[in-house]
Amino acid sequence: MSLEITFLGTGAAFPSPSRGASALVLRREGQCWLFDCGEGTQTQLMRSHLRAARITKIFITHLHGDHLFGLPGLLCTLSLQSSPDASRAPVDIYGPLGLRSFLWRSLELSHSQLLFPYAVHELVPTPDQCPPEEFKDFSGWDRGEALPQGPPGRVLHLDPGEDSYLLLEDEQVVVRAFRLFHRVPSFGFVLEEKPRPGKLDVQKLKDLG
C-alpha cells in the first residue's frame, strides 16, 4: 500500500498569499483523502499535482472557520466538474456534531445543488473536550425541521473501551478519531495499517536449511 502526504495549508486563523489555511491530502491507492478544508484549499489543489476529482473522503478536525470555510466552495467546484451519476459512491465527510447542519444550510442558502451524492458522519463530542463555557450541544438544532435535501450519514459516539470513534475499516486500514482538547470540541484522526503477512514458503526454507 502506497501513501503520500501533501500539505496544502499550514497557516492558522487566516490564509496568506504564501501560506494557506489548514488542509492536508493523503493519497492512497489512487484516492485522495482530505483532512481539513480552510479557505484557499481548492486554489492550493490547483497548484499541486493532485486531482480534486479524486477526493473520496474528507475529515474535519473541528468547526473553527480556518478548518472548514473552504468546504462548501470545494464541494461546489467538484460538482461543476462532475456529471450526474446515480451509481457514484458518495463522498464521505467526517467531523464534529454540527457539520451536517453547517453544510446543508450553506448549500441551501446559496442555492447550490451538488451533482454527486455525499454523506456527513458526525462525531458526538464529550463536554470535557473544551472549556465548559465554550461547549455547545448541537444535537437538537435541526430537530423538528424538514430537511428534504439533507445529506445522509451516521452519528458516531465514543467507544469507551477503545476511547475512540471507529470511522471506517477495510482490508488494509482502520481509521479512528480520538478526542483532543481545544477551545471547541476537536478530533484527531489515526490511520492504522493492518498487518501484512509475508509470502515466504516456510517449508522450502526448511528444506534448504
Q: Would you state the torsion angle of the CA atoms of residues 146, 148, 153, 159, taken in this order, to the nearest 10 degrees?
A: 10
The CA-atom distances, in angstroms, between 22 and each of 17, 39, 52, 119 are: 14, 8, 16, 22
Cell numbers for 203: 517449508
Given CA atoms 144, 186, 190, 158 in this order, what sign does their dihedral have?
A: negative
Q: How far is it, in rounded angstroms, from Cα 48 to Cα 34?
A: 13
- Residue 108 CB partners (closer than 8 Å, separation 6+): 149
Contact predicate 67/21, CB 8 Å: yes
The continuous run of DSSP H or E covering 190 comes out as strand 186-193
Starting at the edge strand found earlier in the chain, the sheet holding 118-123 runs: 3-9, 23-28, 31-37, 55-59, 91-96, 118-123, 155-156
Whose cell is 470540541? That residue is: 185
- Residues with active-site annotation: 66
